[in-house]
Structure 1
Amino acid sequence: METDELTHSVWDITEDEFPVASPLREQGKFLLRYAILAPSSHNSQPWQFAVRDETIEVTYDETRWLEVADQDKRELFISIGCALENLCIAAEHFDIGYNITYHANKDDNLVSIVTLETESEPSFSRPPKLFDELTERYTSHQLFEDQTISQETRDKFSRTIEEDDVTLYLINESEQKRSIGELQADADEAQMADPAYRKELGYWVGMGALGSSWLMARIGQAVVTHFDLGEREGQNNSKLIERAPVIAVLATHADTPTARVKAGQVFERLALLASAEDIAVHPMSQTLERPEMRTELAARADTEGEYPQHLFRLGYVEEERTHTPRWPLESQLS
C-alpha cells in the first residue's frame, strides 16, 4: 500500500525550523508536519493533504479505511479531525490565521479546506501549552493507577470545548464503569470472533503500524489473524475500563461525517491537555464498532439522546512515553 516506510523520525521536529520568511504555501506545508502526528484508529493515518497557495485541502485515503472495523467511517473521520486539530494548534502557535470549511457530508473524499491567513484572530483560543504536547502526546494501554482526577482538572477538560454540537461526558461512578466494562468485553468477543476483523487487524499489526519491531509485528499478525483471542481481550479491556479513574465519552447532536470530524478535533484537544497534565489517554472503540452495542453504550453512558462517537480512558500511570511510527509527510501530500 505504501512506498515509504513507517518511521519514528517524523517526531523529531522543532519550531526553530519554521520557515518564517517563506510564502504561506511553504509555511502551511511545515504545519502539516505537526498534523501527521495525530492519533488514528489502528494508526492507519487515513489523511491526505494538498497544499495550494494559501489553502490546504484535507481529504481521506480510502486505502487506509478500516472497512471491517469501521464500516460507517466513524473512526476515519474522527482520525482526520485529530489531524485537523493539530494543524489548527500549530497555526495558532506561529500566528497564522485560518478558516475551516467542512465538506465531509458530501459524496467525495474531501473532508475540509483550511484557508490560511497572515492577519486573522482565531474565533476560539486554545490553551497555548497544547502546542508543546504535539510532539509529546502518546497513547497508553496500561492499567491506570488508583488515583482520582480532580474536579478542577475535569473542569479544564470541559472548558476546552467550543463546539456547540459536541458534548463531553466524564464518568467516574463505579457501577457505571463496571456496566460499560461488561459491554466492552462483549464487543471484544464479538469482534474477535469475526475472521475478517482479525485479518484486518492482523494486517495493521503486521505492518508495524502499532510500533512493534518487524519480527514481533509478523508474529503478532499471525497470532491475531489465526486465533480468536476475544475472551482474553475482553477480560483485559473490561478491567482497564473498570479500574480507570475516569471514562470519557464524546457524543454529538448529529451523526454525520462533519460531526465526527469535529468530535475528532475535540478529542485531540483533550488528549493534548491530558498530556500537559501528565494524564494518560487510551481510546477504546470496540463498543462503537457494532451498531447494536453503540446504541447500548449510549444508554449506559446516559448520553441523553446524543450519538456516542468516541470512548476513551483517562488516568495516571508510571510509564515511559513512546510513539508509534508515521509515514513521512511526503507520502501524504497530493
Structure 2
Amino acid sequence: MMTDARITIAAAELWLPDRRESAADVGSTPDKAGYDSVAVSDDIAPPDMAVHAATAALARAGWDGGELDLLLHAWAYHQGHDYWSAPHYVADRLGADRALPIGIQQICNGGGAALQTAAAYLMADPGTNRALVTTADRFCAPGFDRWRGDLGVSYGDGATALLLRRTDAGEQPQGLRLLAIASQPASRLEKMNRGQDPFSPAARFDGGQVDVRRTKKSYLREHGVTAFREVERESLRSVVTAALAEAGTVGDDPALRWCVVPRLRRDALESSYVPLLSELTTAKILDTGRTTGHLGAGDLPSGIAELMAGNLLESGERALVLGTGSGFTWSCAVVENPVAAAAQERR
C-alpha cells in the first residue's frame, strides 16, 4: 500500500519486562536454542504492557490520549480474560475516549496488519487524524511453553506502541515517514497451526498447553519441508519487492540503510531470510531479537521502535522492516527519516 508519504510515525516504543530467561536456564545453549535469552513478564498482563508502551509513546510525542481518533491493538496469545475486548481496556486506561478501539488478531503478523489498517484509515477518513497501534503478548505457563512450544522460534514477552498521524502537504514531519507497507498472504499454509485436529468447542479443549510444534510437524510430514520453504521464499520475495516499488525505491539505493528482520531463531533467519534479503537489497541486516525472543504480534512495530530509539537512520535514509505470522502472512514496511528530503523539497 502506497501512502504518498502522508503518514508520519510520530513516536514508537518497545516495552520489555526486566527479567530475562537464558538458554542455559532451560538446559540449552544459544547456538542450539537460537537465542541468548527471552524476555519474561512474571506478573504484568499483556494489556497493561500495552498501556505502558502507549503511555511512553504519548509522552514522547507530547500527545494526550484524548486526542486519539483510532486505536488498534494486536495480539497473538491470551490477553488475560475470555470473551473480552483488550482494545477497549487499553483505550480506557489511556483516556482515549474518542478513539475507536479495534482488535487485530492475525497471530504474529498482527502488528504489521494493524499498522497497515491504521495507515488506510488515516488516508481514507478525513475525520481520523491521529492513531495508536499497540501490540502485547505474554507467553507464560501453564498454557504456553515459550521455549519448546513452536518450531523455528522461542517467545518473549513485551509490548509495542506506534503513534501515527496524517501529515499535510508541505508540513515538516516529526518522526519517521511511512512510505509504504505491503503484505503477502499464503493462506494455504493455515493448516500448519491446525494439523489434523478436529475443531474444538473451547480453547485448549484437547490439551492443557498450546503445541504448535506438533501441528507443524504434522503438516510437514504431509507436504514436506521443501514445499514450505518455496512458499516462504516466494512470499518474502514478493512482499519486499512490492514494498520497495510502492515506496519508489530500489534494493541497491544507497539511502536504504537497514533491513530489520523478524525476531525468529538465528538458524531460521540465516537459512531463509538473510540469503534472500541479501539478494534483493544491499541494506544491512539488523537482527534485534537475540536477547528478547520473538515478541508475538510485536516484531514489526518493535523493529520501528529500535530504529527510532537508536537514531539508526540519518537524514534521508530509509529502512525495510519485516514481520511474519502464521496463517501465513508476511508484511514489509518502508520508513524514512525525512529531514533531509524535506529540506531538499524546500530548496
Q: Which has the higher helix share?
A: 1
Normalising by structure 2, we get a TM-score of 0.27
Normalising by structure 1, we get a TM-score of 0.27
